[in-house]
Amino acid sequence: MSKKKVVLAYSGGLDTTFCAIYLSKEKDMEVHAVTVDTGGFTRQDIADIEKRALSLGAASYACINAVDDFYNQCIKYLIFGNVLKNGTYPLSVSAERIFQALTIAKYVQKINADAVAHGSTGAGNDQVRFDMAFNILIPKAEIITPIRDLKLSRQAEIEYLKKHGVQMNFEKAAYSINKGIWGTSVGGKETLTSHGSLPEAAYPSQLKKEKPEDVTLVFEKGELVGVNEEKFKNPAKAIAKLNELASPFAIGRDIHVGDTIIGIKGRVGFEAAAPLITIKAHHALEKHTLTKWQLYWKDQMSVWYGNWLHEGQFLDPVMRNIEKFLEDTQQFVSGKVFVTLVPYGFKINGIDSSHDLMSAKFGSYGEMNNSWTGDDVKGFAKIFGNQVAIYNAVNEIKP
């Protein structure tokens, strides 16, 4: 009788390493390990991950690059919407998980697997994101989650792997690290409480530069297409270039506190130099090129879009409706944004755009104008406040 075929979403970390051994050796399943690259792996990383997967008993290994899909179908809209969860977190992992799930689901269909497995615990958001995507896209596939089902702690996993002779950096494995083009999340014992702070060594980038550097970012219709003098046809490569310049300054570190999908509060550390700089630079350009009500409605819809994406609801058709709105607002969001990189931070200095609504030919704020007279303003102020004046008079409201 042939073994049951299972596709394992495999990152090479502690949780999925446990799953690979457990499924192949204890469940006697034919394990097909798949890594979905959303911009967080080098060629050497992939080679090492493949070697480990096969040594753990996987029948096959595949690495699928999903960076372009991730950018074109998601990151682009997070930039258009200036999406920061709770004003802090650029949805680094929240966003990439759905694309990992979509890619894994396609692979399950491709090899006609009986089941799909992932290494999520029972206490976080990822279990819902993966399960929900699989239920929608591959409803006939069995979903297997060893870490969640066995209620394992990270220490229990480490002891299990040592017992099976697995060689890996268990000190580093004490931290859950997820790296992609849109940032890196870091979870550890410090983030399990309300007051812990992650140690310097837990972050992927260390401070290597201290002298400030000026960077010019070029946007076309809301997309980052240039960094300094270098132009990019693929905006994902521009983001990678910006990250290359900013990471040595250890920019983009913070701890996000928010509501999980399952109703508990959670904390996670992250480092997202390029995402934070890109979003803040894009927002600065928008403040110059969009009208008051465009900015207002973008804020309302972007917050909702980010929350729904965070909760794994990317496949909801309303998300496509919002994306069309966001993209339509970007028609004139083009120009340069001038940024200074400093240790652990950055400063937006200003913008240059032919679509700048601060155009001097219409006047200078607080100084002079070229479009109306003082008498125009007197009449406007009287009419603009007329309803409130009537309200106060009718109700005899005194100052």
The helix (H) or strand (E) run that includes residue 258 is strand 253-259
Q: Give the best-scoring range by mean pLDDT among 24-28, 186-190, 192-196.
A: 24-28
Q: Which of 9-18, 73-82, 156-165, 178-187 has the highest mean pLDDT?
A: 73-82
State the DSSP code for 175: S
Query: In the chain, what are the domains?
Result: 5-179 (3.40.50.620), 185-193+202-352 (3.90.1260.10), 360-394 (no CATH)
Looking at residue 328, what is its pLDDT? 98
pLDDT of residue 325 exceeding 70, the answer is yes
Residue 172: pLDDT band with limits 50, 70, 90 = low
What pLDDT score does 40 carry?
A: 87
Task: Compute the average pLDDT of residues 69-95.
Answer: 96
Judge whether residue 169 has pLDDT over 90.
Answer: no
Q: Please give the share of the chain, as a percent, with pLDDT higher than 90.
A: 80
Q: What is the mean pLDDT of residues 310-327?
A: 97
Mean pLDDT of the region 264-280: 94
E strand or H helix at 334, and its extent? none
pLDDT > 70: what percent of the chain?
96
Q: Report residue 359's pLDDT band, with 50, 70 and 90 as the boundaries.
A: confident
| pLDDT value, residue 365 | 57
CA angle 171, 174, 179 (to 5 degrees): 105
Q: What is the pLDDT of residue 264?
A: 86
Compute CA distances 284 → 269, 288, 290, 295, 381, whole Å: 26, 7, 10, 11, 29
